[in-house]
Amino acid sequence: MSELDYMDLEILYQAKKSKNGISPEAVSQQDVFTPGIWELVDKFASMQEKNLLTKNKEGLFVLTKNGINTFWDIESPLWLNLLKLLRVKPLADIECARYLEEYIPAVQQALEMIRKKGYIMMSQLRKEEKLLKMFEILPEGVEQITKLKKKDMFVVKSGDKLVVELDDGDGILYEIIDDLVNPLRMIKTLSEDEIKKYKQTL
């Protein structure tokens, strides 16, 4: 799949928030997103061709499974969905939380973890007398998106924990929660020795 741009992200996000579907006309009325209507019509058609959107019985556009998996894949850890999001454009932590519909503390923890790994960089931006933390993906982060595969994940015996291993030996512990949209809750980062202990319980 070709890389998505900010317009794609906003359309997919609006479609995910909508219960009944969206149209180019409705999206063009969004306060934060006002491109030309014909440009939007072309975008919707392109995303339908890519199987990211499909039309429902009412003629409105809704997300397909592929559309959900662009940024909200329930089998992907939060930090990986953040990398996918930041690949579109640099965003503040509060913007990341809004788009992914995650709690800000969890997003901030995941962002700090991948910043320390060298996958993203952080800079400060002053906007309307507020100091925002802006995050931008680095080439190492793009590489992680393409390299990480589902085989890198395993579930411990208890059935309620998920460990994702990183290339450098460290990992992240997630808790599986009763939420169909976001079933994984980040608990903490794990050292290589801690991961080995979890593996021994399998």
| pLDDT over threshold 90, residue 37 | no
pLDDT at 185: 66
CATH numeric code, 6-69: 1.10.10.10
Q: Where in the chain is the domain with CATH 1.10.10.10?
A: 6-69, 72-200
> CA torsion angle for 67, 70, 74, 79 (degrees, to 10)?
-160
Mean pLDDT (the chain, rounded): 80
CATH numeric code, 72-200: 1.10.10.10
High-pLDDT (> 90) share of the chain, %: 41
Highest mean pLDDT pick, 74-83, 125-134, 165-174 = 74-83
Sorted by sequence, the CB contacts under 8 Å of residue 148 that are 6+ apart come out as: 80
Supply 123's token pair: 């800079």
pTM, two decimals, is: 0.69
pLDDT tens, position by position, 126-150? 877 778 889 999 999 998 888 764 4
pLDDT tens, position by position, 4-20? 898 899 999 999 998 88
